[in-house]
Copies of this chain bind each other. A is one copy, B any other.
Amino acid sequence: MTDINFKYVDNSGLIGKEEYKARLERNLPSLDRALKGEEKYKDTLGWHNVSLWAGEEWLEKYEETALRVRKDADALVVIGIGGSNQAARAVYEALGRKNDVEIIWAGNTISPYSMNEVLKSLENKKSVYVDCIAKNFETLEPGIAFRVIRNFLDKRYGDSYSSRVIVTFTENTPSWNMAEKEGYTLLPFPSNIGGRYTALSPICLFPLAVAGFDIKAMVKGAKDMESRLKSDHSILNVALEYATMRTMLKEKGKSVELLSYFEPRFFRFAKWWKQLFGESEGKEDKGLLPMDTSYSEDLHSLGQFVQDGSPMLFETFLNVTERESTCPLPSDELEDGFKYLDGKDFWEINKAAFNATLAAHSRRFPCLVLEIPRFDEETYGALFYFFQMACYVSCNITGVNPFDQNGVEDYKKDMFKLLGK
């Protein structure tokens, strides 16, 4: 079982233990409502019970469809933006290639240069498939990318191109019907989940299955986390601990939460996390601004600001505890000034850098640490579910709707006017 542990290290004295404990108690009703799932949010709680979109029958369907693609493809173009690609990409870019199918990400920008780069990368591919993912296929980015990729497939494969197209659309919408008519393979975009909560659904699981990831393990990690969280209505619930500490810090004047990590391959996960919290909490002039730093690189950059700049932020560290990779430092006769590291491994040195950073930063502000065991599918499943629930709890504490995102619409109105829609 994948465990996520929470701790906080505070040598700044900002938050006292008693104060924290009292607040945990006070937040129990917010936890309770989130764990049960509130009636008023019922149309968006499709993620709450992992089995709903990732039960055994569903997994078989995703695997079966994936198997057909995997057998023949060397490239899968995943068209999607925001919640439609972040989770899958987080896993894909962290865990490394599992088979010969390369995923190529498209539909997440309007840059002509980027679109052309996608087309260029397809030139040397022998067998290209596409998965077009959109809850609402009126979204411009996936819409125009899908046209370009259809055009590419049509030119290369002729009329049979449609056997290479999978769409993940909301069922029984005009675009779903159009896709059905064209003979595309159809997967359902869960109608009762908003984009940023779809990590345990075909949005993320299908492309990962094509690329050879163990989606059963991922779902197991999520289900175990679901059980663990739902069975604990006490102040020891780890989602409550994390949500309580971060909302307390916001009240104490911290306005930015930095997600920090010492493994650069967490980068895409951090993008997923930033969307989850930024879109869920960033409304009604509220919310912590979510930002990330990739250490040790960014210690040589934003590290200065974190340590000495405006005291507006606190930090949440993702820390992987089990040694999973090794790179021994070769010994060397050269007088290079690094003899003090002889016999050490990058792993140990990296951990020393983490512990030193934690020590230094926690003298300035409270540091939160989420410990996870390793980089694998099961852990990612647990992480996705954990943060989704913790976000729900956080929003219950601060009093915003975790599942809407009306602010996203503003620029769209201006844009559609400019484009004559």
Contacts and interface: CB of A to CB of B under 8 A. Distances in A.
A196 B143 CA distance: 41
A411 B150 contact: no
Interface string A74-105: 00000001110010000000000000000000
Contacts of A115: 327, 346
A405 to B, nearest CB: 5
A310 B147 contact: no
A375 B354 CA distance: 37
Nearest to A350: B110
B109 A255 contact: no
Nearest to A301: B275
Nearest to A108: B297
Contacts of A264: 109, 111, 114
A347 interface: yes
Interface in A346-366: 346-347, 349-350, 352-353, 355-357, 359-361
B282 A304 contact: yes
Interface string A270-289: 01001100110111111111
Contacts of A140: 296, 338, 341, 349, 353
Interface residues of A, number: 115
Interface string A126-153: 0000000000011111011011101100
B336 A263 contact: no
Contact of A111 (B255, B301, B344, B350): B350
Interface stretch (A17-25, A54-62, A385-393, A412-420): A412-420
B337 A310 contact: no
A137 B337 contact: yes
A207 B247 CA distance: 46
A97 to B, nearest CB: 11
Nearest to A324: B113
Contacts of A146: 336
CB-CB nearest 3 A-B residue pairs: A282-B309, A282-B305, A82-B300
Given A255-B255, A303-B407, A340-B420, 6 more contacts: A146-B336, A182-B334, A278-B304, A282-B309, A291-B291, A352-B415
11 contacts: A81-B296, A111-B262, A139-B300, A140-B341, A143-B336, A147-B329, A278-B309, A281-B309, A289-B291, A305-B407, A356-B411
